[in-house]
Amino acid sequence: MDFNFSFDSLQTLSSESTVTKVTNDAIFECVIIGGGPAAMTAAVYMMRKGVSAALVTENFGGQVIETSGIENYMGYRYIEGAQLAMKFREQVRQFSIAITENTAVIRIESGNPHSIFLSSGMKIYGKTVIIASGKSWRKLGVPGEKEFTGKGVAYCTICDAPLFKDRDVIVVGGGNSGVESAIDLARVASHVTLIQNLDALTADEILKKTISTFKNVTFLFKYTVDSIHGDSAVRSVRVRSIDDNSEKDISVSGIFVEIGLVPNSSFADSVARNVSGEITINARCETNVHGIFAAGDVTDVPFKQIIIAAGEGAKAALSAYEYIVRGN
Ligand SMILES: Cc1cc2nc3c(=O)[nH]c(=O)nc-3n(C[C@H](O)[C@H](O)[C@H](O)COP(=O)(O)OP(=O)(O)OC[C@H]3O[C@@H](n4cnc5c(N)ncnc54)[C@H](O)[C@@H]3O)c2cc1C
Measured distance between the N- and C-terminal CA atoms of the chain, rounded to whole angstroms: 29
Whether 37 and 64 have beta carbons less than 8 Å apart is answered as yes
Residue 147, number of CB atoms within 10 A of its CB: 14
pLDDT, tens digit, 9 for 90 and up, residues 98-142: 999 999 999 999 999 999 999 999 999 999 999 999 999 999 999
| 278 C-alpha to ligand 1 centroid (Å) | 14
Ligand 1, atom nearest to 158 Cα = 1
DSSP string, 26-48: -EEEEEEE--SHHHHHHHHHHHH
pLDDT, tens digit, 9 for 90 and up, residues 236-293: 999 999 999 999 999 999 999 999 999 999 999 999 999 999 999 999 999 999 999 9
In this structure, which amino acid lies at residue 262? V
Task: Establish how many alpha carbons lie within 13 A of residue 169's alpha carbon, considering only the half-sphere containing its beta carbon.
Answer: 32
Distance CA 41, CA 37 (A): 6
**Most trustworthy range by pLDDT among 14-23, 135-144, 152-161:** 135-144
Question: Distances from the Cα of 175 to the Cαs of 77, 139, 181, 198, in angstroms?
Answer: 29, 15, 10, 10
- Long-range contacts for 239-246 (Cβ within 8 Å, ≥24 apart)? 239/195, 242/197
158 Cβ below 6 A of ligand 1 = yes
| 179-189: average pLDDT | 95
Task: State residue 2's pLDDT score.
Answer: 33
Q: What is the mean pLDDT of the chain?
A: 91
pLDDT, tens digit, 9 for 90 and up, residues 155-178: 988 778 999 999 999 999 999 889
Number of H helices, E strands in the chain: 6, 19
304 Cβ below 6 A of ligand 1 = yes
Asked if the model's pLDDT at residue 5 lies above 70, the reply is: no
Task: State residue 328's pLDDT score.
Answer: 67
213 Cβ below 6 A of ligand 1 = no
Task: State residue 8's pLDDT score.
Answer: 35
Per cent of the chain over pLDDT 70 is 93
Whether 183 and 267 have beta carbons less than 8 Å apart is answered as no
Ligand 1, atom nearest to 34 Cα = 34
- Non-local (6+) Cβ contacts of 194 within 8 A are 170, 171, 172, 173, 174, 178, 179, 182, 201, 211, 217, 218, 219, 220
